[in-house]
A and B are shown apart, each in its own frame.
Chain A
Amino acid sequence: MSIDARGRACPEPVLMTKKSLSANPEGVEILVDNVTAMENIKRFATNQGYQVTVEEQGEDYLLKITK
Chain B
Amino acid sequence: MKAKTLVIIAGVVVGVFALLLTAFGNPANMGFCIACFIRDTAGGLKLHSAGVVQYVRPEIIGLVLGAFIVSLVSKEFSPRAGSAPGSRFVLGFFMMIGALVFLGCPLRMMLRIAGGDLNAIVGLVGFVAGILIGIAFLNKGFSLKRAYKISKADGYIFPAIQVVLLVLLLGLPALLAFSAEGPGSMHAPIALALIAGLVVGGVAQKSRLCTAGGIRDAILLKDFTLLTGFIVIIAVVLIGNIALNNFNLGFEGQPIAHNDGLWNFLGMALVGWAAVLLGGCPLRQLILSGEGNVDSAITAVGMLIGAAFAHNFGLASSGQGPTLNGQIAVIIGFIVVAAIGFTNLQKGDA
Contacts and interface: CB of A to CB of B under 8 A. Distances in A.
Contacts of A7: 80, 82-83, 146-148
Nearest to B82: A7
A63 to B, nearest CB: 16
B136 interface: no
B227 to A, nearest CB: 13
Chain B interface size, as a band, is 20 to 34
A12 B143 CA distance: 8
A10 B223 contact: no
Interface in B61-115: 76, 78, 80, 82-83
B144 A9 contact: yes
Given A15-B138, A44-B221, A9 B216 contact: no
A44 B220 CA distance: 11
A43 B76 contact: no
A11 B220 CA distance: 9
Interface string A12-49: 10110010000000000000011110010001100100
A8 interface: yes
Contacts of B80: 7
**Most chain A C-beta atoms within 10 Å of own C-beta, residue among B76, B146, B149, B225:** B146
A18 B295 CA distance: 25
**Most chain B C-beta atoms within 10 Å of own C-beta, residue among A7, A9, A44:** A9
B3 interface: yes
Interface string B12-53: 000000000000000000000000000000000000000000
A36 B225 CA distance: 13
A10 B279 contact: yes
Contacts of A12: 138, 143, 279
B217 interface: yes
Contacts of A64: none
B78 A33 contact: yes
B200 to A, nearest CB: 18
A33 B172 CA distance: 41
Interface in A40-66: 43-44, 47, 59
17 contacts: A6-B146, A7-B148, A8-B83, A8-B147, A9-B280, A10-B213, A10-B279, A11-B216, A12-B143, A12-B279, A15-B138, A34-B76, A34-B78, A39-B3, A43-B223, A44-B221, A44-B223
Interface of A: 6-12, 14-15, 18, 33-36, 39, 43-44, 47, 59
